[in-house]
Every structure is written in structure tokens, then in C-alpha cells.
């Protein structure tokens, strides 16, 4: 598959050359360009010789001088300059397999692409990497890589992933370690399967690869009501969540004393399920697992309280009455922040509502999986004030559309109030409360 240039950024180094849309990129400084990783890596240098094929079939060579690291400025038909790599597993807990029918097609595609792991933070299982791809990651020192480990017991990992290559994980990770590659890992924890003794084994094996293995998140399995025909799994009970949090915290404390880092962190959802307080700000070190919901609430509160203190004494809000709709797990937390704002700032009038997830099932309680239909059905007829705030994570990235394809405009029309998505930032949330 040739990488045909569709557009050139205006004012970029490539814009000042004879490169034109329609040209196919063949190589840079003699290195064949197969995909976006090759392109980004080999276009980093200050002096480039770019080989191309014109639409008429003629090959040409273009020399470019630019700042080291400056973006060359070429755009292609697809971001990867290649087809995305699909997942080869049938994981017992796969969330995609638990989606109901009739949703948009893109939600059913399971990617397991090492390039997306490096470029966009996706997690990969390593089960579909060829030897060439493993060696290229080592040669190019592509870092950090995000890896879904789940278990280091080879046979158990095969069973969890339903893939005979599941037992290769640690061997590949050790090759990455020797190549100087940093890895962030996750363990989706399933009660009675890879928790307890198996979780301890996994943490022990991964800690031996520190600092190459920089951090590991322990995330509770998410189970929807759409599991017909799938293996029977059990959600975390409060007692089970509490035991898992204690197990991870104890092991992490030993790592901190021995290695200088906790390495292992439980997702906020486990603390909420266990009825335990979220650890303090300093516990999370560099917050390397935020995207997995680790320390997200603590950082959000830290940002919120910092913004609240910056308002100073005697500050009066000019914001209108509001409501906040969020997931069941975060609703009490958001309510407490609203109370703190009302206690420090005059004229803050707001309340938080928990939205039960009727679409996926009540075992799913995170805000990012709340649908437009559930929002409408449960908020309609309530006294919402003049406006409704929602987490931006409820919407498709960059668009005003919920998971069930209900639009933001649909919700506003149904509820009769403007709906404001708020980014995951405590300061931004306070600004939205104050309508600034």
C-alpha cells in the first residue's frame, strides 16, 4: 500500500519544495516508508532526501533542510498511512463483545495496533506482533508503549485472551526492556480469575522490570447487561474491591521502599466500590495512569480547590442556577465539590444528579458511558435550573454526539435547557459553575 500525499501543511518545510498532493512517498534518507512510525521517525532529522513517485509514475528526489524535529508537513489519506491492525484475541472480559446491536460500526472494531499505542495511548496485548514489528519497535526505540498484561501466568493469560500467543507477553516485554523502551501496563482485574494470588504474581513479575515497566494500573472488569452467550464473570463486590485495594497498596508500598516508586495503582472506581477514600495527591507520583481513571478524581479535586482558593474571599458568583449530570460512581464526589464552592463563594446554586446506566446495565457506573437516551429519560421533568453541565467524556471525541448517537442538540431540546460539556479539569469545572 503506497502512502499517497493528500495535502501539505501551508508554510511547512514540505510546502517550500516540489512535493505535490498526489505524490506517493517512497523513502526518506534511503529508508523505506511503510507507515506513520517510519514517517515520523525518519523525518526527524535536519537534512532530508525524500524520494517520491508522481501520479504519472515518474520518480523524483527532493532535498529538504529544516529544524531538527520540525514536522515535515505531509498529510495522507489515513492517519496510520496503512490499515489499522485488528485485535486477534477473544478476551473473556472484552467490552466490545458486550455492546448491544445497532450502534455505529466503528464501535465494534477492536484495534490492537502498536502504532496507536505509541501515538495515541491505546493499550495493546502484543499477541499480533510479527518478528519484524517487534524488532522495529526495538530498533526505533518507540517509547512509551502501553501494554494490556492482565496476567503474567502464561497459561492464565492464554485463557484470559483466548489466544495461544498470550504466553509470549513477558518474553516480548523483556526484549523491550533490553532495548531501553518504557512500558505502562494495565491489568483488567476479574474476581476469582486474575485477582488475589494471581494478581500478586503479576505484580511481582512486573516489578522486576522496573524502571522499564514504569507504571501498572489495576482496573475492575466492566460488565454490561449484554453478555448473552459470553463466559460468566462476576463484578467486584465492595468486600472484594476492598481486599484488592489493600493487596495492591501493600505491594506498592514495598515497591516504594525498595525501588522508589509504587509502580502499581488502583483505578478510582475500585476505591469508590470499596467505600475507601481516594489517596492524596502525592500518592499518584506523576499521574502516569490518568487515562485509565487512576487518580483522576484526586487531580480533579486538587485543580478545583486551587481554582477555588484563587477566587479569594468575598467573591460573588454571577452564574445562574445549574445542575450537573454524571455517572453514579462520581455523583457524590461532584456533590461535595459543589458544596465546597457554595461554602466559599456567594450565590453558587447547583446540584448533582447520578444517571443510572439503563443502556449498558446498572453495573456500569462511569460518566463516560452515559448515553443521551438515559440522560433525557432521567433528567426530563427535574428542576435543573437554567443550565445542565455534563462531563465532556460522555461525547464522541471532538463531536457533540453520545454513544447511542443522540446529539447534544437532541438533549437540549428534550430537557429545555442548554447543556454544557466540561473538560476533565477541576479549574474548568469551577469556571463552568461560575459561568466564566
- Phi, psi of 120, rounded to the nearest 5 degrees: -125, 0
Q: Is 351 in the same domain as 287?
A: no
Q: Is 253 in the same domain as 351?
A: no
Indicate the residue among 275, 293, 311 that finishes a domain: 293
Q: Residue 164 belongs to a domain with what CATH number?
A: 3.80.30
Q: Is 199 in the same domain as 278?
A: yes
Between strands 24-28 and 3-8, the pairing is: antiparallel
| pLDDT in the model for residue 106 | 85
Q: Is 112 in the same domain as 221?
A: yes
User: CA-CA distances (angstroms) from residue 265 to 82, 117, 278, 328, 400?
Assistant: 35, 20, 11, 22, 32
Residues 6+ apart with CB under 8 A from 208: none
Query: What's the per-residue H, E or C state across 91-135?
Result: CCCCCHHHCCCCCCHHHHCCECCHHHHHHHCCCECCCCCCHHHHH
Q: Is 82 part of any domain?
A: no
Q: Is 34 part of any domain?
A: yes
Q: Is 211 part of any domain?
A: yes
| pLDDT in the model for residue 436 | 84
| pLDDT in the model for residue 102 | 87
Check if the beta carbon of residue 297 is closer than 8 Å to that of residue 284: no
CA angle 109, 111, 115 (to 5 degrees): 145
Q: Is 88 part of any domain?
A: no
pLDDT tens digit string along 147-173? Answer: 999 999 999 999 999 999 999 999 999
Q: Which residue has the higher pLDDT, 119 or 7?
A: 7
Query: Which one, of 287, 359, 302, 300, lies nearest residue 330 by Cα?
Result: 300
Q: Is 83 part of any domain?
A: no
Q: Is 287 in the same domain as 409?
A: no
Q: Is 361 in the same domain as 378?
A: yes
Q: Is 218 part of any domain?
A: yes
Give the distance from CA 318 to its chain's centroid: 35
β-sheet with 213-220: strand ranges across: 145-148, 183-189, 213-220, 264-266
* Residue 423 pLDDT level (bands cut at 50, 70, 90): very high
Give the distance from CA 127 to its chain's centroid: 20
Q: Is 146 part of any domain?
A: yes
pLDDT tens digit string along 220-253? Answer: 999 999 998 999 999 999 999 999 999 999 999 9
Q: Is 319 in the same domain as 259?
A: no
- Other C-beta atoms closer than 10 Å to the C-beta of 381 total 9
Q: Is 138 in the same domain as 175?
A: yes
Which stretch of DSSP H or E encloses residue 68? none
| pLDDT in the model for residue 13 | 95
- Would the pLDDT of 187 be above 90? yes
Q: Is 304 in the same domain as 326?
A: yes
Q: Is 131 in the same domain as 275?
A: yes
Indicate the residue among 293, 310, 334 that finishes a domain: 293
% of the chain residues with pLDDT over 70? 100
| pLDDT in the model for residue 117 | 85
What is the total count of domains within the chain? 3
Q: Residue 35 belongs to a domain with what CATH number?
A: 2.30.42.10
- Would the pLDDT of 1 be above 80? no
Measured between alpha carbons, how far is 151 from 156 in angstroms, rounded to an integer?
7
**Domain residue limits at 160:** 96-293
Q: Is 89 part of any domain?
A: no
- Other C-beta atoms closer than 10 Å to the C-beta of 32 total 11
Q: Is 222 in the same domain as 285?
A: yes
Indicate the residue among 293, 308, 331 that finishes a domain: 293
Mean pLDDT for 263-292 is 96
Q: Give helix then strand counts, H and E, for the chain.
A: 13, 14
Q: Is 270 in the same domain as 289?
A: yes
Amino acid at each position: 500500500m503506497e502512502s499517497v500525499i493528500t495535502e501539505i501543511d501551508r508554510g511547512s518545510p514540505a510546502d517550500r519544495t516540489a512535493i505535490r498532493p498526489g505524490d506517493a512517498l517512497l523513502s526518506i534518507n534511503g529508508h523505506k516508508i511503510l507507515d506513520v512510525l517510519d514517517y515520523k521517525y525518519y523525518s526527524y532529522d535536519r537534512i532530508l532526501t525524500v524520494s517520491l513517485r508522481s501520479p504519472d509514475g515518474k520518480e523524483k528526489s527532493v532535498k529538504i533542510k529544516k529544524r531538527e524535529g520540525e514536522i515535515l508537513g505531509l498529510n495522507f489519506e489515513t492517519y496510520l498511512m496503512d490499515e489499522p491492525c485488528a485485535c486477534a484475541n477473544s478476551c473473556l472480559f472484552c467490552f466490545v463483545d458486550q455492546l448491544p446491536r445497532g450502534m455505529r460500526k466503528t464501535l465494534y472494531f477492536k484495534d490492537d495496533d502498536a502504532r496507536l499505542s505509541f501515538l495515541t495511548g491505546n493499550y495493546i496485548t502484543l499477541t499480533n506482533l510479527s518478528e519484524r514489528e517487534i524488532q522495529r519497535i526495538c530498533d526505533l526505540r518507540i517509547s512509551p508503549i502501553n501494554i494490556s498484561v492482565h496476567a503474567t501466568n502464561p497459561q492464565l493469560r492464554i485463557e484470559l485472551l483466548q489466544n495461544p500467543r498470550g504466553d509470549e507477553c513477558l518474553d516480548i516485554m523483556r526484549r523491550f526492556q533490553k532495548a531501553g523502551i518504557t512500558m505502562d501496563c494495565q491489568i483488567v482485574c476479574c474476581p476469582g480469575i486474575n485477582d488475589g494470588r494471581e494478581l500478586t504474581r503479576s505484580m511481582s513479575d512486573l516489578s522486576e522490570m522496573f524502571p522499564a515497566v514504569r507504571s501498572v494500573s489495576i482496573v475492575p472488569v466492566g460488565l454490561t447487561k449484554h453478555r448473552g452467550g459470553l463466559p460468566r464473570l462476576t463484578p467486584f463486590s465492595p468486600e472484594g474491591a476492598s481486599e484488592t485495594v489493600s493487596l495492591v497498596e501493600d505491594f506498592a508500598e514495598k515497591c516504594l521502599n525498595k525501588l522508589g516508586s509504587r509502580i502499581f495503582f488502583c483505578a478510582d472506581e475500585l476505591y469508590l466500590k470499596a467505600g475507601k477514600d481516594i489517596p492524596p495527591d502525592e500518592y499518584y507520583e506523576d499521574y502516569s495512569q490518568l487515562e485509565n481513571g487512576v487518580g483522576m478524581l484526586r487531580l480533579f479535586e486538587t485543580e478545583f480547590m486551587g481554582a477555588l482558593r484563587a477566587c479569594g474571599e468575598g467573591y460573588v458568583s454571577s452564574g445562574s442556577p445549574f445542575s450537573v449530570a454524571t455517572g453514579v460512581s462520581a455523583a457524590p464526589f461532584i456533590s461535595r465539590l459543589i458544596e465546597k464552592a457554595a461554602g466559599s463563594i456567594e450565590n453558587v446554586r447547583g446540584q448533582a444528579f447520578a444517571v443510572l446506566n439503563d443502556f449498558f446495565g446498572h453495573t456500569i457506573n462511569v460518566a463516560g458511558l452515559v448515553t443521551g437516551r438515559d440522560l433525557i429519560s432521567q433528567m426530563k421533568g427535574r428542576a435543573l435550573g437554567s443550565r445542565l453541565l455534563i462531563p465532556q467524556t460522555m461525547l464522541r471525541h471532538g463531536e457533540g454526539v453520545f454513544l447511542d448517537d443522540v446529539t447534544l442538540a437532541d438533549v437540549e431540546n428534550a430537557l429545555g435547557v442548554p447543556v454544557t460539556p466540561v473538560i476533565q479539569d477541576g479549574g474548568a469545572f469551577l469556571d463552568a459553575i461560575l459561568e466564566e
